[in-house]
Amino acid sequence: MDSKPSTSRLLLLLTLSITFIPAAVFAASGEESSSWRSLLRQVVRNRWTSGGGDHQDAVEKAMMKEITLKNYCESWRLNVELHNVRGFGAVPAECTSFVAKYMSSSQYKSDVQRATDEAALFLTSSFSLAGDGRDIWVFDVDDTLLSTLPFYKSHQFGGSAANRTLLEEWMAKEKAPAVEGMLDLYHDIRRRGLTIFLLSSRPEHLRDATDGNLIKAGFHGWARLILRCDEDGSGRSVQKYMSEERKKMVNEGYRLWGMAGAQWSSLLGHPKAKRTFKVPNPMYYIE
């Protein structure tokens, strides 16, 4: 039997897509890895250059384990949350409609609710607070407490590179709603006697707007709102900035019980809390 795939099988393979794509491919940097069509060509090329009679097997396996565009975009979104996909400047063009649907869906609400449920479960575990006000919980602000979804709706749900100037102008209007489910968790944490610190990469000149928006959305009673200095020209990444601010808290004698954030840069680094909770957000990535 001819070991080369027939034309019909070739067309079917290219139309349906490919079999399982490992996380390492999603994590690869560069434009090639961010495009579904480019990725499709890459995997096809890799499979069909193995030589000899293996071509037929590769075609048959790909036909049995095809991955559609929807599957690809779901895998991309999942790997963003797993932190396998990093450093993307924008959502892949092929996936913007998928991300839009997800962010407006009951699945997104359910995913956020699961994160808050797990945090609540952690809070009910047996631990004792010192009662000295130094047991703290740290929240990020954007897409953790306040949702930027209304802004990103008009910017392809992350499909176009973020314009920081436009985003800050929108933030200054104090129109961000609370992330559904996070308001209840926030007040549950307060009722349990934990001190709340808000640690955000928003610039200092947005302090009044951030204060006002948080209060309008139903948040109040935090002990500190830490924003990034407007003159911070050190080139620090957000992750480094967040880590250094948490280190200051610990050096002041505070004990980190929990953290919640929609970006990995808000949660990684040292010192760490006893538990961290990631709020889903596939619309953008901050280093």
Does some domain include residue 64?
yes
Same-domain status, 79 and 121? no
Give the domain range for residue 228: 105-278
Does some domain include residue 97?
no
Q: If DSSP states are collapsed to H, E and C, what string results for 54-86?
A: HHHHHHHHHHHCCCCHHHHHHHHHHHHHCCCCC
Q: What is the pLDDT of residue 62?
A: 56
Same-domain status, 172 and 262? yes
Q: What is the pLDDT of residue 189?
A: 97
Contact of 102 with 286, CB cutoff 8 Å: no
Same-domain status, 62 and 114? no
Q: Find the DSSP H helices in 88-232.
A: 96-103, 106-124, 149-153, 164-171, 182-191, 207-216
What phi and psi, each to the nearest 5 degrees, are found at residue 4? -85, 145
Same-domain status, 192 and 244? yes
Same-domain status, 55 and 155? no
Same-domain status, 173 and 55? no
Q: What is the pLDDT of residue 231?
A: 72
CATH of the domain at 217: 3.40.50.1000
pTM: predicted TM-score of the whole model, two decimal places: 0.78
Contact of 278 with 82, CB cutoff 8 Å: no
- CA-to-CA distance for 108 and 94, rounded, in angstroms? 19
Is the Cα dihedral 18, 34, 152, 148 positive or negative? positive
Does some domain include residue 285?
no
Distances in Å between the Cα of 162 and the Cα atoms of 99, 111, 157, 279 are 15, 24, 10, 20
The tens place of each residue's pLDDT in the chain, 287 residues long, gives: 444 444 444 444 444 443 344 444 444 434 434 455 555 555 545 544 544 556 666 655 554 455 789 999 999 999 999 999 999 999 999 999 999 999 999 999 999 999 999 999 999 986 788 899 999 999 999 999 999 999 999 898 888 877 899 999 999 999 999 999 999 999 999 999 999 999 999 999 999 999 999 999 999 999 999 999 877 756 789 999 999 999 999 999 999 999 999 999 999 999 999 999 999 999 999 98
Same-domain status, 46 and 117? no
- CA-to-CA distance for 102 and 108, rounded, in angstroms? 6
Amino acid identity, position 188: D
- CA-to-CA distance for 261 and 83, rounded, in angstroms? 13
Where a domain ends, among 88, 121, 154?
Answer: 88
Rounded to a whole number of angstroms, the CA Rg of the chain reads 22
Does some domain include residue 2?
no
Same-domain status, 211 and 271? yes
Does some domain include residue 176?
yes
Q: What is the pLDDT of residue 19?
A: 39
DSSP reduced 3-state for 134: coil
Does some domain include residue 95?
no
The tokens for 107 are 């699945």
Same-domain status, 82 and 124? no
Same-domain status, 26 and 129? no
If one counts the domains in the chain, the total is 2
Where a domain ends, among 58, 88, 118?
Answer: 88
Where a domain ends, among 88, 113, 138?
Answer: 88
Same-domain status, 238 and 138? yes
Q: Which residues are paired to 226 by β-bridges?
A: 199
Contact of 138 with 256, CB cutoff 8 Å: yes
Q: What is the pLDDT of residue 10?
A: 44
Beta-sheet pairing, 195-203 with 135-139: parallel
| Residue 215 CB partners (closer than 8 Å, separation 6+) | none
Of the candidates 258, 279, 266, 264, which has an alpha carbon nearest to the alpha carbon of residue 109?
279
Same-domain status, 75 and 114? no
- CA-to-CA distance for 182 and 258, rounded, in angstroms? 14
Does some domain include residue 73?
yes
Does some domain include residue 200?
yes
Kindly state the DSSP code that residue 132 receives in the 8-state scheme: S
